[in-house]
Structure 1
Amino acid sequence: MISGFSKSSRGDIAARLLIEMQDKGYRPSRNLVRDVICCLCKTDNPENQVFRLLEMQLARHRSSTSVIYNFFIDGAGHALKPELATQVYEMMRRSGIEPDLRSDILLLRSYLKSKKISHALHLFRDISMRRRKRKLWHTMIVGLCKARKHEYASQILDNMKENKLRPSIECYEELIKLYCELGQYYKAIDLVNDMTQMGRPVSSFIGNVFLLHALKTRKVYHTWAYLSHTQNLTPACWMLGHVIGVFSGSIEGNHDDEELEKLIQQCFQLDIYTNNMLLRRLCMSGVDHACKFVSRLREKGFEPNRWTYDIIVHGLAKDGRTAEARTWMEEMLHKGFQLTEVTKKII
């Protein structure tokens, strides 16, 4: 009910029901509190509404005071109100409670989410002087990547290593993904080399990003081939390049789907996304091969997802096999999946 009123932009009712829920001894989830705060942030007078609810929450002592403040910093951040999140943060300080690492990270995220990058950088510099915590750098790098600020993200990654802090795999994943989207494949491959030099394996996420781009262009492989002659690549980075070459068709040879699976398995763990990538590749050489591949996946226990079905339906429809495409589509719809807009146009 509370969630429903929040979605209907009735923040006043949602806030009242939230208080009633707590008075009856029930503890709301963080997401539910966040929804109510986000809804209040959309009202005509968001500051008064949010601070009124905050004062009521503090008066009831249902959770620790720092947890309550963090809920409100988080909610304001998700509502893209970083200034309001800062006011809550400062109110927390004035009340005699020193913000913890979580408070700092939530405030930092509020500026990153709102794409107020200069404010986020200033805040990060201030907090990093007080706290030398890996999670702080992680938050900043991932947030900057999502804001597509690769220069800053790269600088902070280097700064993190200079401070003897080991970047998380997600830091590498997000920056590699962004570099690939920007077509800066040499920087993406250089990051893989750097990461694997530190002993980190190539994750499924990273492997899948490169396979996706290898389907689109052979520039990925050509970049790797150039770097392999100018740099000392790690065995893991070299293997990834070989997989990209075979997958993109840059390295010639008769590699069937099973052989390609085994080759990829030597580089990183296959998941449903990898299988869908293999499926797209097979569709290029014939949709019958793709259908057989799906049957083999099912025998292994893999359940097709929306993208699996969409790839097959698209391939069959494009091949003029409309009746077969509709059979697959009916199975897809029965399982609750919807066709993509691109596939809808051709069926």
Structure 2
Amino acid sequence: MKSGLVTALGVVALVVLVLLTFNVEDYGLSQLAQVALTTVALLGLNLLVGYGGQTSLGHGAFYAIGAYTTAVLVTKAGMPHLWTLPIAAVLTFAVGVVFGIPSVRLRGFSLALVTLALAIALPQLLKHFEGLTGGQLGITVSRPDLPGTLTADQFVYLVTVVVGFAVFLGVRNLAKSRTGLAMVATRDNEAAAGAMGVPVARTRVVMFALSAALVGLAGSLSVLLTGYVSPDNFGLTLSINLVAGIVLGGLGTVWGALIGAVYITYMPVYATDISQSAPGIVNGLIIIVFMLFLPNGVVGLLRPVLRRLRSRRPSSAPTSRPPHTAATSTLPEKETTP
């Protein structure tokens, strides 16, 4: 019954999101599309950090790899935009395997330094291969040509929302599957997980690769939205923003990724009204405050409220029982009293 209700709510949510295509102006649709693709990126990072217990400060590099894959395939090979999405995900999955193998032996601070080095080095590499990546100037990508009445913004919004919705459900189901339980077991106690038959090394590599693939997919979607890539867009700040998003939303939760995506999308819009450096300052404060005082994020704050609401539901059940049931239940107490 519960799973059926969740499925029904999911279908209703998707229908509402699709209907927004024709009832929201293009700028609003682009903001919502940004929320959707950022949710995909945060779900990927959360697989590694929240469910896997690893540390990464360089997932912005995988975002860049996915974005440049789409940009190069569209501009150099003339490939349709949508075809590049799975290719970007597969390519970043392969790169994730390469970097996931060292993660079997590296832990915590050491792994964070390796991923940090990747985030710092990749933009410089992108500038070096100017013939392929456009160098410092980057690559301008044309918007998709669409038949019918849909605008480019409406089309990109629909694609991004559908992909984001599918990834959200996929990660939610993965977290409850045997693979997800193996990830959590490896995070909590690696020795105990290995003793129970969990392939720890393979789980870590697959987890890292899946995480990279989802972030790369988000980067590919971002090119459809913005139509432009540049090395300067994928610096260390992007990786820090992703970390701030999952810390604020809640580590190890799918809903936390959605909350973090809303924060990352809309916070800079208001923070830059104060100062151009305000978004970076806010992100730093968010990471410090939440890690020290609210390690479970916004989802952790909402859980007690949801539990109280659920606990109130059964309280009305005894009042609906027939009178003879209540009398029968009190009969043994009368027999045992002297």
* Higher share in helix: 2
Ranked by relative contact order (alpha carbons within 8 Å, sequence separation 6 or more), the top structure is 2
TM-score bucket (shorter structure): under 0.3
Calculate the TM-score normalised by the size of structure 2: 0.21
Larger radius of gyration: 1
